[in-house]
Amino acid sequence: MPLRIGDKAPDFTADTTEGSIRFYDWIGDGWAILFSHPKDFTPVCTTELGYLASLKPEFDKRHCKLIGLSVDSVSDHQAWLKDIEETQGHALNYPLIGDSDLSVAKLYDMIHPNASGPAQERTAVDNATIRSVFIVGPDKLIKLILTYPMSTGRNFDEVLRVLDSIQLTAKHQVATPVNWQQGEDVIIVPAVSDEQARQKFPDGWRAPKPYMRIVPQPK
């Protein structure tokens, strides 16, 4: 069955550029972003991983770890890291999973389920992971799933924006409107009654419609 938002993120053990990890232990009690890229030594992936390395301090502030994956080996990852730093100006500062046996890619529906065998025997269709992003919460539930075309580099600023929104919801029971950015007004979620909202937001709210209760972003 495909994974959906709200599902338990599958746990796994894997070799990475920073040693062997068990996913749940590696996450600990914080947040995590697991993402896949199609192949090492390819141009779009090189730009993505370098830019994400530049954003890592922002994810650190939000207690969110980053970990990447492709079906390349750890040794291939290690050789590629030099190219990322040289061309993008940022050394990789998060681990990459070497998933050459396709086990994690199949767990997270990142590759055709029938893909198998050594890399040199697989076709182009089943020898590259799709561009997937999963945000996993401290409860190990999946909070976000994004899938991009092979030819389109991701907007990791948007992933950071969504993380901010998800964390606000988890802490304050608010939702974020269209094109919301950090610091802008938010919306009290419908599950919170007016009585509960008065306790949580004693300064009140602006309501152009009864179901649209707008408040400043909580601290």
Q: Which residues contact 76 (CB under 8 A, 6 or more apart)?
A: 40, 41, 98
Task: Report d(CA 213, CA 190) in Å as an integer.
Answer: 9
Give the pairing of strands 19-22 and 13-16: antiparallel
Sheet of 206-209, strands arranged across: 174-175, 186-188, 212-215, 206-209
Q: Which of 44, 45, 64, 163 is catalytic?
A: 45
Q: Which residues contact 64 (CB under 8 A, 6 or more apart)?
A: 30, 31, 32, 33, 135, 163
Is 64 tagged catalytic? no
Nearest residue to 32 via CA among 147, 140, 153: 140
Task: Report d(CA 73, CA 91) in Å as an integer.
Answer: 19
Task: Report d(CA 46, CA 137) in Å as an integer.
Answer: 27
Joined tokens for residue 68? 């990447």
The residues assigned a catalytic role are: 45
